[in-house]
Chain A
């Protein structure tokens, strides 16, 4: 099969062109031997199926970082390069174009963001450019699809360029200067509203309050979408359709081992999705019915923020703080991604440049960033009526606040300490701030789906496995034994009942499954609200779930992961003891 690769600078709308060209079957893979991701898809040109590869965004072909190395390697195995060029910034983009043309490979140029360049008063004579470069040049607006058809129909015209000869870095800049003089004219233009908004969101005095506002609104929308998905789709389905089916199965199975594994315990003769702890009840309901709606809503909103161009501005505003924690502003990206599911968060630490930055980012992610499953756990514990919130001194939300406050303080303190004691470089922030753009609906949904898929692929198998393990442990009586063995540690260090150790053990498999365990436990043992604060906090920081753990081993290496894990456990123990002293007063 013929291979076509899309190459271009970051922020030129390359992924949008990619979405336009390919269908739904897009695979994100890892370039062999590296940690660089790229997407792959298929399309038809004149009845011939070809493979389209979306290479990482790069500024030049000299392989000085991982992404550039991958792009460089990819060039060796493709038949055609579609060079996506930003028409609003032709001069800088032409550097990569010239480097591509110097190689013996057929190139076609998509002059993207064509509409935007016209708004900016930039006039490019694309016919003359085509003549000068000796390869097809097609103006495109990937967002609306304009020019994509022409681009595809002209792919067969591509040929190895004969006009551009290999030269030095300086030679290229001189060449670019002469090309720009011949093809581009720029009219003077005034500050537009978009520029003004851009300035306001990046200047600290106005930008910081706006950032708080945007984050607040974003979480409000996530909650709104999540709650409505549950109320109108997930709950009617689980209560109205799924429950009767499983109940039917439960009646047919009769009490016994198989029933215990599949359905779990009936509570007052009924299936309780959270507490029954069967593979088909809790194992299916918790990830799909409770966590998935919020994960979907969260990644949808995050993808919108990403594709509109807001995140680089936020990274600029928070760089100050993050630089002191041993990362730079870009460190906010793994943190945000991790709030959905820690797995995509852990995968994104590879975008940070040095080992030190990645180590700190990963450790902080695992300790202080609760994923949606953990968040729903914290909310579930404190809003559960069974835990007797009637007798509590404060409202449930103040206990929830206490948990989050502890996590924020931890993020900062541990970051400061790790920055001081981790060896290695912490290079400064250096990134492009793209203009605000209307996100492409197609790209946003594709991105959201990719991230939701990470969650589904990791969550479901582990949950079912987790329920299975707990089933075995409880049938064999090991669960009670663990509770007794760890009693002195739990009681002595944290002032908690020994049975909580089982909840912690479960939390390693899946954090959301631990909610079920804890709620089931709470029906037999009475917890004070402060004890619950301690459990929720420890459960968040002591260890990531096994899926995240596996990704982190791959990203950090075994040695660093052992160090990181030691920090996690140490922190959990220390925080547990401190909270015990402060909150329980003993």
Chain B
């Protein structure tokens, strides 16, 4: 899949802590995308990183008013645009 990556579009893993971003795209299979969406991770939603655990550990994010912890592999498939 070819995606146009401008400066501001990046995987969630590269977003700095406490910076606001908007989710632009979800990669991965249909089941995976659905799993994210029903938990609140959807296109056009605002997302912020609250904390990162060291040594490739999970991220905790705020999205749609709630906190979620997700593994780094999953975060890599969430494409965001920094605001």
For residue B11, CB closer than 8 A to chain A, the reply is no
For residue A48, CB closer than 8 A to chain B, the reply is no
Q: Restricting to A187-222, which residues have a CB under 8 Å from any CB of B?
A: 198-199, 202-204, 207
* Contact A169–B50 (Cβ < 8 Å): no
Given the contacts A92-B39, A202-B50, A204-B54, A433 and B68 also touching, CB distance less than 8 Å = yes
A89, B67: Cα distance in complex, Å: 11
For residue A88, CB closer than 8 A to chain B, the reply is yes
For residue B51, CB closer than 8 A to chain A, the reply is yes
Given the contacts A59-B38, A92-B39, A430 and B68 also touching, CB distance less than 8 Å = yes
Given the contacts A202-B50, A319-B58, A430 and B34 also touching, CB distance less than 8 Å = no
Q: Restricting to B62-83, which residues have a CB under 8 Å from any CB of A?
A: 64-74
* Contact B35–A64 (Cβ < 8 Å): yes
For residue A523, CB closer than 8 A to chain B, the reply is no
Given the contacts A92-B64, A316-B58, A433 and B69 also touching, CB distance less than 8 Å = yes
Given the contacts A88-B65, A203-B51, A428 and B73 also touching, CB distance less than 8 Å = yes
How many chain A residues touch the partner (CB < 8 A)? 37
Contacts of A198 in B (CB 8 A): 67
Q: Mark B36-66, 1 if CB is under 8 A from A, else 0.
A: 0111101000000011111111101000111
Among A91, A120, A207, A428, contact of B71 (Cβ-Cβ < 8 Å):
A428
* Contact A433–B60 (Cβ < 8 Å): yes
A173, B70: Cα distance in complex, Å: 22
For residue A77, CB closer than 8 A to chain B, the reply is no
A433, B65: Cα distance in complex, Å: 11
A356, B31: Cα distance in complex, Å: 21
* Contact A433–B67 (Cβ < 8 Å): yes
A487, B38: Cα distance in complex, Å: 61
Given the contacts A428-B73, A428-B74, A92 and B40 also touching, CB distance less than 8 Å = yes
Contacts of A430 in B (CB 8 A): 35, 39, 68-71, 74
Contacts of B71 in A (CB 8 A): 319, 323, 328, 427-430
For residue A317, CB closer than 8 A to chain B, the reply is yes
* Contact A329–B69 (Cβ < 8 Å): yes
Q: Could you say which of B40, B58, B71 has the most chain A C-beta atoms within 10 Å of its C-beta?
A: B58
Contacts of A431 in B (CB 8 A): 68-69
Contacts of A328 in B (CB 8 A): 71
A91, B69: Cα distance in complex, Å: 19
Smallest CB separation, B69 vs chain A (Å): 4
Given the contacts A62-B34, A169-B37, A319-B58, A91 and B64 also touching, CB distance less than 8 Å = yes
* Contact B37–A432 (Cβ < 8 Å): no
* Contact A92–B66 (Cβ < 8 Å): yes
Given the contacts A173-B42, A312-B69, A430-B69, A89 and B64 also touching, CB distance less than 8 Å = yes
Q: Mark A88-100, 1 if CB is under 8 A from B, else 0.
A: 1101100110000
* Contact A432–B39 (Cβ < 8 Å): yes
Smallest CB separation, A230 vs chain B (Å): 39
For residue A333, CB closer than 8 A to chain B, the reply is no
Nearest chain-A residue to B43 (Cβ)? A173
Nearest chain-B residue to A432 (Cβ)? B68
Nearest chain-B residue to A11 (Cβ)? B66
Contacts of A320 in B (CB 8 A): 53-58
Smallest CB separation, A225 vs chain B (Å): 31
Given the contacts A92-B40, A329-B69, A428 and B58 also touching, CB distance less than 8 Å = yes
Nearest chain-A residue to B30 (Cβ)? A169
* Contact A202–B60 (Cβ < 8 Å): yes
* Contact A89–B65 (Cβ < 8 Å): yes
* Contact B38–A89 (Cβ < 8 Å): no
Smallest CB separation, B12 vs chain A (Å): 13
Q: Which residues of B contact A (CB under 8 A)?
A: 31, 34-35, 37-40, 42, 50-58, 60, 64-74
Q: List 17 A-B contacts (CB under 8 A).
A: A64-B31, A64-B34, A88-B65, A89-B66, A92-B38, A96-B38, A202-B60, A202-B69, A316-B58, A319-B58, A323-B71, A428-B73, A429-B69, A430-B39, A430-B70, A433-B69, A434-B67
